[in-house]
Structures are given as C-alpha cells and as structure tokens.
Amino acid sequence: MRDRTKQPSAPENPLPEQLRWTCKPFAELEPEELYQALRLRSEVFIVEQRCPYLDEDNRDQESLHLFGWVDGLLAAYVRILPPGLAFEEISIGRVVTSPLVRRKGFGVPLMREAIRQAWQAFGRADIRIGAQYYLLAFYSSLGFRQVSEIYLEDDIEHVEMVLNP
C-alpha cells in the first residue's frame, strides 16, 4: 500500500520545458488530480500565505483545470474560468507553483499555457485576473494591464488586470 502521508519530492534540477501539461474540465478529473490540485492550493494559499479562506468556492465545477507535471509532481496549476463565472470576461485564477520548484522559471510557461488554453476553449477574447499586487510586474510582463485600484481580498492587496487578444 502506498504511503499517502508522503508528498512527492522535487525532481533533480527540473526545467520549465520538462512540464507535461494536462487541461481538463472538472468532470474529467481523476480523483488523484483533483486531490493534488486542492492540496497545492491549500499548501500555498491557506498555509503558506496564512490566509484562512474557503478555497472551494463552487467555481471549480465549471472551470478548466491546467496541470503542469514534472516526474509525477504537480509543479504548476491554474484554473480557467469561462466568461460570466468570476468576471464578465474569461478569467484565470488560483495560479500557483509548488514551493518545491519555486524560482526555476515555471510561472511564465504556466501563464502562457493558461492563456493559450483559455483562448482555445472560449475564443480569443479579453482575459481578466485578480492578481496579488506584489505580482503586478510579473503579469505586466505577460501583457496584462492594471484596470483597478488596489483592493484587499482576504487581507492581501490585489488589483484587477486585463489581457487583450
């Protein structure tokens, strides 16, 4: 029997091009994929950022889930929301990389693949995100532009940003 308390370890010197992408609607997720996504989201957004909030917001069921795997480790993840679910526009949220592979350049390929998958699924239209303010330069480098003032969400500064096709 597999030891379910043990988390996969980081592969030796993983590179962004080693990512194996899978993108699925909620209904097609395997239980292990869903578990790994929820575990990573909880590890980073709730535990690491010390932000007690209800992550499961009933939007996952209507979203696409993009996974970036490296040797069995969920290294990167986002969910892609259809227009009208979170914002009027397509949206990308729950953008996260595993602490085991941080600072190795996985964020840019994750967002580029998320944008590609979003436009493939919902057409080439604006994408709106609610970005943590400290990541403003990162998202700006991908073509997103700030369209709101800073606001607090769960005691973390955020801004809305939009990417035009």
106-142: per-residue pLDDT in tens? 999 999 999 999 999 999 999 999 999 999 999 999 9
Q: What is the pLDDT of residues 26-55, one digit of tens each?
A: 999 999 999 999 999 999 999 998 888 888
Provide the whole-model pTM. 0.90
**Domains assigned to the chain:** 18-122 (3.40.630.30)
How are the residues of the chain apportioned to helix, strand and coil, as percentages rounded to the nearest 5? 35, 30, 35
Q: What is the distance between the alpha carbons of residues 128 and 94, in angstroms, rounded to a whole number?
A: 13
Query: Distance from CA of residue 117 to its chain's centroid?
Result: 12
